[in-house]
Structure 1
Amino acid sequence: MSTTTISVEGMTCGGCANSVRAELSHIPGVHDVGIDLSHGTVTIASDAPIDAADIRAAIEEAGYQLAG
Structure 2
Amino acid sequence: MTDQTNSSSCCGGSGGACGSGATTDVQGIGVTTVYKVSGMTCGHCEGAVSKEISALDGVTSVTAVATTGEVTVTSATPLAEDAVRAAVDEAGYELVGQA
* Band of TM-score, shorter chain: over 0.9
Map residues 33-48 of structure 1 onto 2, 5 A cutoff.
Answer: 33-48=62-77
Structure 1 vs Structure 2 CA RMSD: 0.9
TM-score, length of structure 2 as denominator length: 0.66
CA contact (8 A) 2:47 2:64 kept: no
Alignment gaps of 5+ in structure 1: none
Alignment gaps of 5+ in structure 2: 1-29
What is the CA distance between 1:38 and its match in structure 2?
Answer: 1.5
More helix by share: 1
- The alignment partner of 1:48 has SS state of coil
In 2: Cα distance, 1:66 partner to 1:9 partner: 7
In 2: Cα distance, 1:35 partner to 1:21 partner: 6
Higher relative contact order (CA 8 A, sep 6+): 1
Pairs aligned (count)? 68
**Alignment-derived partner of residue 62 in structure 1:** 91
- The alignment partner of 2:56 has SS state of coil
Query: After TM superposition, which residue ranges in structure 1, 4 or more long, deviate above 4 angstroms?
Result: none
- Amino acid of the residue matched to residue 45 of structure 1? T
What is the CA distance between 1:22 and its match in structure 2?
Answer: 0.4
Radius of gyration: which is bigger?
Answer: 2
Q: Does 1:49 align with 2:78?
A: yes
Identity %: 43
Q: CA-to-partner distance for each residue in 1:4-29, whole Å, 9 max, x for gaps? A: 11000010000000100000011000
Q: 1:9 aligns with which of 10, 17, 38?
A: 38
More strand by share: 1
